[in-house]
Structure 1
Amino acid sequence: MAGKVFALLDEMKIKPDSFTLAILFKACAELATDRAIKIGRKLLDEMPENYRNNVVVLNSAMHMLMKFGDVESAERVFRSIKAKGAKIYGALMNGYNLNGESWKCFKIFEEMKEKDVIPDEIEWNILIGACSKSGMLHHCQYIVNQIPLNIQNKIRTQNALIDMWGKCGSIEKAKNVFDLVVDRDTITYTAMSNNIFFH
């Protein structure tokens, strides 16, 4: 019901705080209509200076810009952030995946390593998604070799890996991951079935 958010915005007589602003950016991203894009850009332009280091607000703003297809502006917001954590890197990589620029994720991953920013499960899964889209086996193996075992053993990551290996044409590696999954769910079976069916 993102549309109703704008009705409330019209009623507001006060400036949105950081929490409200993050919600508004999210609503704009969800709708991504001409009106939503106009409102989102206006809110971003008029954003108070003290919010320009608020990670939650900037994460939300980057996601919105990526949903608008404005990769360049999202990159500008990313570069403006002084203390970048894993979630901000994840938002940028996720945006690249959304906009068909998955290859940029690998460059960002190298930057994370240089800056000693440790990805969590979400960022690893975004990287696996980038590997799926690239379809390059060497990229996939390079990323997988660096995923910590405690993350590799999580069902969501295992499902993503089955899908990734299948999309890269390595049914054998997909089957190896499938065999390791302890609590298989419908996503696990669907991912493996797709690999067998489409190859």
Structure 2
Amino acid sequence: MGLLQEAKSLFDKMPERDNFSWTAMISGYVRHDRPNEALELFRMMKRRDNSKSNKFTVSSALAASAAVPCLRIGKEIHGYIMRTGLDSDEVVWSALSDMYGKCGSIEEARHIFDMMADRDIVTWTAMIDRYFQDGRRKEGFDLFADLLRSGIRPNDFTFSGVLNACANQTSEELGKKVHGYMTRVGFDPYSFAPSALVHMYSKCGNM
């Protein structure tokens, strides 16, 4: 019996399950790439125990719907979040934006992103990458410019995503501007960002 199956066996034998045990089991299924079981357990939690979820429970459920992916289920969880008053937490907003983006509803993802009061660099980078992955490079570059104006420092993942977009568009001029910014703020020469620079310049024909 695997560890996850053993955990589920112990979970099933519990006479009473608190929110922590439900959340641990749901997130365990998500981490082991079994999103459908995670969603079924989330439904069971609401149906049987009528437990009030916390931000970690619903974030795990949203991650499961994103992994399926299923926009309908994600919207159902969004509705549940609104009804239970969990819509004031930034962790939940971030998970909502991620779910909508991965389920192909980029407009909803951006709407949630714009409503977030406290956006960290991970949230910014994820939204920028969604635009690039959807082929909407102008909106991705515009949001990257908004990030620079916000005063939040991009990380290596941000730089890499933007540079790859420059390479795909063979936009050396914009790539050079990103390179200049990286030089000014500093970046780890042993990270993958320099590799993205090499790729951008070579794709643009500047050997």
TM over 0.5: yes
Distance 1:117 1:7 in 2: 41
Distance 1:169 1:76, change over 3 A: farther
Distance 1:167 1:127, change over 3 A: farther
Distance 2:193 2:21 in 1: 37
Distance 1:168 1:131 in 2: 14
Uncovered stretches (5+) of structure 2, i.e. residues with no partner: none
Distance 1:151 1:20, change over 3 A: farther
Give the match for residue 41 of structure 1. Answer: 39
Distance 2:162 2:126 in 1: 11
**The residue matched to 1:46 in structure 2 has which SS?**
helix
Superposition deviation, residue 44 in structure 1 = 1.1
Greater C-alpha radius of gyration: 2
Does residue 1:180 correspond to 2:185, yes or no? Answer: no
Instruction: State the 4+ residue runs in structure 1 displaced beyond 4 angstroms.
Output: none
In structure 2, what residue type is equivalent to 1:45?
R
Give the match for residue 3 of structure 2. Answer: 4
**The residue matched to 2:146 in structure 1 has which SS?**
coil
Identity rate of aligned residues, in percent?
13
Distance 1:144 1:25 in 2: 34
Q: Please list the CA deviations of residues 147-167 of structure 1 after superposition, one character each: whole Å capped at 9, or x if unmatched.
A: 244324444433333234334
In structure 2, what residue type is equivalent to 1:143?
L
Distance 2:97 2:151 in 1: 22
Q: Residue 89 of structure 1: which of 68, 87, 93 is its match?
A: 93
Contact 1:29 1:68 (8 Å CA) reproduced = no
| Structure 1 stretch displaced more, 13-22 or 71-80 | 13-22
Query: TM-score w.r.t. structure 1 length?
Result: 0.77
Distance 2:79 2:164 in 1: 32
Contact 1:163 1:174 (8 Å CA) reproduced = no
Give the match for residue 190 of structure 1. Answer: 195
Q: Please list the CA deviations of residues 72-110 of structure 1 after superposition, one character each: whole Å capped at 9, or x if unmatched.
A: 1022112321324333232233234444x1xx3344323
Q: How does 1:1-199 map to 2 (within 5 A)?
A: 3-12=2-11, 13-14=13-14, 15-33=16-34, 37=36, 39-47=37-45, 48-52=49-53, 54-82=54-82, 83-99=87-103, 101=104, 104-113=105-114, 115=115, 117-147=117-147, 148-181=149-182, 182-184=186-188, 185-199=190-204
Superposition deviation, residue 135 in structure 1 = 2.6
Query: TM-score w.r.t. structure 2 length?
Result: 0.75
Distance 1:119 1:66 in 2: 20
In structure 1, what residue type is equivalent to 2:128?
I
Contact 1:131 1:164 (8 Å CA) reproduced = no
Contact 2:163 2:197 (8 Å CA) reproduced = yes
Distance 1:32 1:116, change over 3 A: closer
Supply the RMSD in Å over aligned alpha carbons: 2.7
In structure 1, what residue type is equivalent to 2:19?
S
Distance 1:60 1:23 in 2: 9
